[in-house]
Homo-oligomer: A and B are copies of this chain.
Amino acid sequence: MESVYRTHFATDCTKELVGQTVTLNGWVQKNRDLGGLLFIDLRDRSGIIQVVFDPDVSPEALEIASKIGREYVIAVTGKVVARAPENVNPKIPTGEIEIQADQIHIFNPAKTPPFPIEDRTDVDEAVRLKHRYLDLRRPKMQETMMIRHKAMQSIRRFLDQHGFIEMETPILTRSTPEGARDYLVPSRVNKGSFYALPQSPQLFKQLFMVAGMERYFQFARCFRDEDLRADRQPEFTQVDIEASFIPREQFLSMMEELMKTLFKEVIQVDIPTPFPRLTYQEAMEKYGSDKPDLRFGMELINLSQILRDTSFKVFASVIAGGGQVKAINVKGCANWSRKEIDNWGKVAESLGAKGLAWLAFKEEGVKGSVAKFLSESEIEAIRREAKAETGDLLFFVADRPEVVADVLGELRLRLGNHLGLIDPNVYRFAWITEFPLLEYDAEDGRYYAKHHPFTAPVEEDIPLLETNPDQVRAHAYDMVLNGYEIGGGSSRIFRREIQELMFKTLGISQEEAKEKFGFLLEAFEYGAPPHGGIALGFDRIVMLLAGRQNLRECIAFPKTNSASCLMTEAPSPVDRKQLDELGLSVKNE
């Protein structure tokens, strides 16, 4: 072997190369004896190729090859030969050829891995995370990492072409009063002081606008010390984008083009633009969610008007008390068994409903838990409103609007899944707009900003800030896809008088505002342009592009729900000396 290093990747070896001598490098996927021959499946990043060791070609190579095992790292030199037609394997790109080895070199032996390097594995996730370097060898993980890479390049290329400048913001920064809990980093030079890891570069991105950079982006690492849910990570990556002097419509359509380009380039899917838009109100009304999955219908139907005067007390009293009666139409399921329907009732209760009423439009007539309480004309009105046909099943929830939305929204998703109504190969984007600017906190007796206090109100609602704050809509927009919020943005307040009005509405005094947001407010006095932007959840976008179910599958070295890394065993105790240098001590509890 002149050089042991590869001349070709596995999948470079096609029928066109038959007769050529190549050197391949990679890992042994499997090896098997067959009629005096030894077959090795060699795996590299490109894929898998079959190598044959034949005593008539090289007994020396066969001798060495016979001693190696799975995951050995080897180099093989040999001739590309066509397989006999009956041996062609159409499942792999190299299936028409094989390599007739005449030399082999062992770079490194390998212990038997704790789980096979294959997509199908039932091994516990904890074992996979502990040996992440082996888990990442599995084809699906390699593909996901490749999709992540391609997505990064595609987004960057698009933003670069549209005049956005990539700029980095500090990781060691200042604790900001923005909601979630900060990760802190003690300062050694300035003992007793702390840096904070950024929850997002929000203030820095706005400062870039004040600095006249006009169009900025960054793949920003963000940190939140929250109690983790299944689809959260303590550190995550967001595509942070901000622009000045661009009308909102132009910015939104630019973001639509970004996603269109991304999905086309990475997974060859055409995304129609413009994206449909729903106001927050509409989304909550129709889907019980501000991140609706639009791949299927089964919209929530509001029957409160129709049933306002019903003699059925349960419904009537809910409606009279400011609540709602809403239903979903489960098409074609009128014949579900009582048991099946009861099971869905239990689901509804576990989601917070007091109960799940139902009506089944059967051939033989209308049945159901509320059939006998409703008049014929009410049932007819419901049938019309719900576009119910014979064979359809209606589920009803009567409760406060929030509960109705939560329960029917989630029930809709689960029923959609259960009934196979959700096509995993379809991508339905939408913008959700006109979020409420403020939320009232009854406990504190004051309003809080729903996003952050720099989100601009819709112009025509500005007068309402002083009279009806809860009716003020924000100039905010979420990008949703298939039931996930994948981005959130807004136009920002850039004029001082609006900002002051906002603080006044929030009950924040001038002194308090200065203490909390001082340097940003000062910056805004030196000529802030009109600006706005968006933050895209990159990990989640990769998850959707790769068709994965879990954020951990889309991050090379993720953390568990208790924010630890099973491979490195971070976090870990440190030397007393290190704490002494920081002037800190750990309290014994």
Residues on A close to B: CB < 8 A?
A: 3, 5-6, 25-27, 43-45, 71-73, 107-111, 113, 131-137, 142, 145-146, 148-149, 152-153, 156, 160, 165-175, 181-197, 203-204, 207-208, 210-215, 221, 223, 225, 234-235, 237, 244-247, 250, 494-496, 519, 523, 525-530, 555-557, 559, 562-565, 567-574, 578, 581-587, 589
Contacts and interface: CB of A to CB of B under 8 A. Distances in A.
Contacts of A72: 527
A27 B496 CA distance: 17
Closest 9 CB pairs of A and B: A110-B527, A136-B211, A174-B570, A193-B571, A187-B571, A174-B568, A71-B527, A25-B245, A45-B214
B212 A589 contact: no
A564 B527 CA distance: 26
B45 A213 contact: yes
B526 A563 contact: no
Given A187-B563, A212-B44, A528-B73, A572 B136 contact: no
A480 to B, nearest CB: 25
A516 to B, nearest CB: 12
A176 to B, nearest CB: 9
Q: How many copies of this chain?
A: 2
A583 B586 contact: yes
Contacts of A195: 570-571
Contacts of A196: 570, 574
B136 A193 contact: no
Contacts of A221: 168, 171, 221
A565 B235 contact: no
B194 A574 contact: yes
Given A160-B153, A526-B134, A557-B169, A582 B27 contact: no
A221 B213 CA distance: 22
Contacts of A584: 584-587
Contacts of A181: 188, 578, 581
B212 A578 contact: no
A171 B234 CA distance: 10
A87 to B, nearest CB: 27
A298 to B, nearest CB: 38
A82 to B, nearest CB: 26
Nearest to A149: B165
Contact of A27 (B152, B212, B589): B212
Q: Of A43, A207, A555, A559, which is in contact with the most chain B CB atoms at under 10 Å from its CB?
A: A207
B190 A571 contact: yes
A170 B245 contact: no
Contacts of A213: 45, 136, 142, 145
B5 A207 contact: no
Label chain A's interface by main secondary structure. Answer: loop
Contacts of A145: 165, 167, 213
B133 A523 contact: yes
Contact of A583 (B160, B171, B188, B587): B587
A234 B189 CA distance: 11
Given A110-B526, A110-B527, A192-B573, 20 more contacts: A25-B529, A27-B529, A43-B212, A73-B529, A110-B525, A131-B523, A134-B211, A142-B213, A153-B160, A168-B221, A170-B235, A171-B171, A172-B235, A172-B559, A184-B582, A190-B562, A191-B589, A193-B573, A196-B570, A519-B567
A301 B407 CA distance: 84
Nearest to A130: B519
A188 B149 CA distance: 32
Contact of A152 (B166, B173, B234): B166
Contacts of A136: 208, 211-213
A319 to B, nearest CB: 44
Contact of A173 (B45, B175, B191, B568): B568
B137 A557 contact: no
A225 to B, nearest CB: 6
Nearest to A527: B110
Q: Of A153, A568, A581, which is in contact with the most chain B CB atoms at under 10 Å from its CB?
A: A568
A563 to B, nearest CB: 5
A25 to B, nearest CB: 4
Contacts of A245: 5-6, 25, 44
A158 B246 CA distance: 32
Q: Of A72, A225, A556, which is in contact with the most chain B CB atoms at under 10 Å from its CB?
A: A556
A254 B137 CA distance: 25
A589 B583 contact: yes
A190 B583 contact: no
10 contacts: A6-B245, A43-B212, A45-B212, A153-B160, A153-B166, A170-B565, A181-B578, A184-B578, A193-B572, A204-B557
Given A152-B166, A190-B562, A572 B6 contact: no
Contacts of A569: 174, 519
Contact of A190 (B184, B185, B564): B564
A341 to B, nearest CB: 41
Nearest to A110: B527
A419 B582 CA distance: 46
Nearest to A234: B172
